[in-house]
Amino acid sequence: MLAIIIYGWTTKEKTLESTEFFCPNCREHRDCEHRAVKRYFTLYFIPLIPLGTVGEFIHCDTCEGQFDTAVLDLTDADVERLTRPWRCDECGNTNPSDQERCLKCRCFREDEPAAELEFDDD
């Protein structure tokens, strides 16, 4: 008699906590969930044994964006820097914080305040 055993692994997301953070995408304080992704050994497609945490991330409830947990550590000064208007180095025009190009001369913003907070959606 031949017995077929089906085994493998899968991942599952688990919410660790719900909190509030400054979302770099929405550029406002928003509700979020701190989530962990864990890998499990499966037998006949049933997750049985946890094999460890694959990673953690912050999920914005409003824009559905996913960010590194470092966004929870933003200080008030970081938030102010991300939301204040910026002045174009070429023409001196004052532009809103969410614009990456000058509204007057279309030059790119020299300082990229949110660049270190953007992550790929892998």
- Give residue-wise pLDDT tens across range 49-102: 999 999 999 999 999 999 999 988 888 888 887 778 888 888 888 888 878 888
SS3 assignment, position 30:
strand
DSSP per residue over 72-92, as a string? GG--HHHHHHHHS-EE-TTT-
Which residue range forms the structural domain that includes residue 118? Answer: 85-122
Calculate mean pLDDT across residues 30-58. 94
Q: What is the DSSP letter of 107?
A: P
Task: Specify whether 11 is located in the same domain as 69.
Answer: yes
Residue 100: per-residue pLDDT: 82
- What length does the chain have? 122
Nearest-5° angle of CA 77, CA 80, CA 83? 155
Strands (E), 24-106: 28-43, 46-60, 66-67, 86-87, 94-95
Q: How confident is the model at residue 17 (pLDDT cuts 50, 70, 90)?
A: very high
Cα 58 to Cα 114: distance, rounded to the nearest angstrom: 16
- Looking at residue 101, what is its pLDDT? 86
Residues 60 and 94 in one domain: no
Number of structural domains (the chain) is: 2
- Pair (96, 119) in one structural domain: yes
Tell me the average pLDDT across 41-51: 94
- 38 inside domain: yes
Residues 89 and 69 both lie in one domain: no
Whether residue 80 lies inside any domain: the answer is no
Q: Are residues 33 and 10 in the same domain?
A: yes
Please check whether residue 47 lies inside any domain of the structure: yes
With respect to residue 65, please indicate whether it lies within any of the assigned structural domains.
yes
Backbone angles phi, psi at 54, to 5 degrees: -80, -40
Q: Is the residue at 107 inside a domain?
A: yes
